[in-house]
Amino acid sequence: MISKTMKTILHALSAGNIEVENSRRLADLKQLDATRIFLKKMDTKVYNGEHVVPIRLYFPTENAMSAGIEEGSTFPVLLFFHGGGWVTESVENYDRVCSRMAQATAHIVVSVEYRLAPEHRFPVPLEDCYVATRALYTNQLIINTDPEEITIVGDSAGGNLAAAVCLLARDRGEFMPRRQILIYPALGNCYTEKSPFRSVQENGSDYLLTAVKMEDYLNLYQSSPSDRNNPYFAPIVEENLKNLPETLILTAEYDPLRDEGEAYGKKLREAGNQVEIRRISGAFHGFFALGFKFLHVQESFGYINQFLNASYEKILHLSINDEKIK
């Protein structure tokens, strides 16, 4: 339960609309983080047409760095798309999050600097993410990869981009992700009183991320109102969800996006996909960016590692069975 005092503070902090430049300046304050984790990192890039898409790699250990780069060896990878409503945040702002993710999961983390709205509206940010994903899956980055050991991850708007990249990959047929992790993903197309999701009404005014701000973000991201009916813009509207990756969805109890994330997971499951849905009790939207000492973050990494390990075990068993058949 949240105390009355905390509710009053949260209500005050939740007021107002999205003002792009002020929101970006506020987000950039994360770069002053004194608790930043220092890992081995490497900056590289891919091209989306003539545009350079910067990419940063985080290595959990020295061995991971050598195994990821040396010819003939591979290391498991998390491909990460940051949140920020498609409008704010950056690879640099998410430096601590990605460093912690690499440490907590013992994976190389690949973080993508996709272009932001409103300067670059849908589908530009998505296409930047798709190009980076294709490069990783087809071994065009500096690290060597096994597609079976790559997981696509995103939080909030990044969760939207992760889900949309998986839909695009299935539909275009150039590669196919094995698994995705969506952390309080923004998958819907309406955050007004017309929203079918109860959490928009229950959590849409007093818990930092508001329904008003979500509508602002959608308006800044869309190129035209018709985009809201495009499943690559709002994956929740996709009617055909067959043949998609194994999925872990993490939601937060006091988040307006809670119910759409869980509904998407149920739709994926009904379409025949393997899905886990975990709700983090007592959590707000954005909790994943907090320090590892926070119990909500620790709980999330517990679910993430459990999901990854179970998926790898299934691949191993399938490989053993294939060898026996031969």
Annotated catalytic sites, by residue?
Answer: 156, 255, 285
Please check the confidence at residue 324 and state whether its pLDDT lies above 80: no
Nearest 5°: the CA angle 229, 20, 11 is 90
DSSP 189: S
pLDDT per position as a tens digit, 179-193: 999 999 999 999 999
Phi, then psi, of 276 in degrees rounded to 5: -120, 135
Q: What is the pLDDT of residue 36?
A: 66
Q: Is the pLDDT reported for residue 95 higher than 70?
A: yes
Which tens digits make up the pLDDT trace of 246-287?
Answer: 999 999 999 999 999 999 999 999 999 999 999 999 999 999
Q: What whole-number distance in Å separates Cα of residue 320 and Cα of residue 131?
A: 33
Overall average pLDDT of the 114-127 stretch: 98
- Between CA 235 and CA 152, with CA 173 as vertex, the angle to 5 degrees is 55
**Mean pLDDT score across all residues of the chain:** 92
pLDDT at 292 over 90: no
H, E, C per residue of 227-292 = HHHCCCCCHHHCCCCCCCCEEEEEEEEECCCHHHHHHHHHHHHHCCCCEEEEEEEEEECCHHHCCC
- Please tell me the predicted confidence (pLDDT) of residue 281: 97
Whole-angstrom Cα distance, residue 151 to residue 309? 12
Q: Out of 3.30.450.20, 3.40.50.1820, 3.40.50.150, 2.120.10.30, select the CATH number for domain 4-325.
A: 3.40.50.1820
Find how far residue 303's CA is from the centre of its chain. Answer: 15
Burial 23-36 (b: 16+ CB within 10 A, else e): bbeebeebeeeeee
Q: What is the per-residue pLDDT across 14-51, written as a single tens digit (0 to 9) for each?
A: 778 888 888 888 888 877 775 667 678 999 999 999 99
Nearby residues of 130 by Cβ (< 8 Å), 6 or more positions away: 165, 168, 169
Please give the pLDDT value at position 322: 56
User: Within 10 Å of residue 239's Cβ, how many Cβ atoms?
Assistant: 7
Across the range 313-317, mean pLDDT stands at 82
Token representation of residue 282 = 């007592």
Contact 79, 152 (CB under 8 A): yes
Q: Is the pLDDT of residue 318 over 70?
A: no
Whole-number Å distance between alpha carbons of 309 and 323: 21
Give percent of the chain with pLDDT exceeding 70: 90
Residue 323: is its pLDDT beyond 60? no
pLDDT score for 315: 86
